[in-house]
Amino acid sequence: MIVVYDEYGPVRMIRDKKYKYIHRYYYDRQELYDMENDPGEEHNLINDPAMIDIVLTMRKKLQTWFIQYADPDKDALKEGVTGNGQMDWAGSKGYHQWPEHDTTKGEILSGKAVDNPLANRQK
């Protein structure tokens, strides 16, 4: 079975073939979608009492995965959402891997990818 995990700031998501669960850590607005019957994500099932076991299972899988694999120094859960989507490396404090897309500066740069300044950091 393929399972996808993702995060964007304090929002984390788990998706398998049947369901997609979104957990917002500092907001009380979680989401659960049945991706087979609602691929457009129009009907949030999070408050459906019949889905409580699915919600708890997905939440546990999500938390377990991030506890095991997230690097505490680069944990996006601790960072704010800047509007740059997946453009910044987590833990980089705004350093852009694609500087031409830096919407915080409103400028277009060379279009060349730059080296990750965190890649060779000594631990």
Alpha-helical regions (H) of 28-71: 52-69
Parse the chain into domains and list their residue ranges: 4-74, 83-116
Tell the residue number behind the tokens 């950091």, with chain if given. Answer: 121
Residue 56: other Cβ atoms inside 10 A: 11
- Residue 8 confidence (pLDDT): 75
- What is the fold of 4-74? Arylsulfatase, C-terminal domain (3.30.1120)
pLDDT higher than 90, residue 91: no
Report CA dihedral (20, 36, 46, 58) to the nearest 10 degrees: -40
Mean pLDDT, all residues of the chain: 75
d(CA 21, CA 6): 11
- Spell out the residues 6+ positions from residue 57 whose beta carbon is closer than 8 angstroms to its own: none
Q: Are 61 and 69 in contact (CB under 8 A)?
A: no
Q: Which of 64, 92, 60 is CA-nearest to residue 76?
A: 92
pLDDT tens column, 18-77: 999 999 887 778 999 999 999 999 999 999 999 999 999 999 999 999 889 888 777 777
Give pLDDT, residue 92. Answer: 57
Is residue 88 very low, low, confident or very high in pLDDT (cuts 50, 70, 90)? low
The tokens for 70 are 């997230």
User: What value does the mean pLDDT take over residues 94-115?
Assistant: 46
Residue 6 has pLDDT above 80, yes or no: yes
Put simply, whether the predicted model's pTM sits higher than 0.85 gets the answer: no
Q: Among all chains, which residue has been given the structure tokens 């998706």?
A: 15
For position 107, what pLDDT does the model report?
38
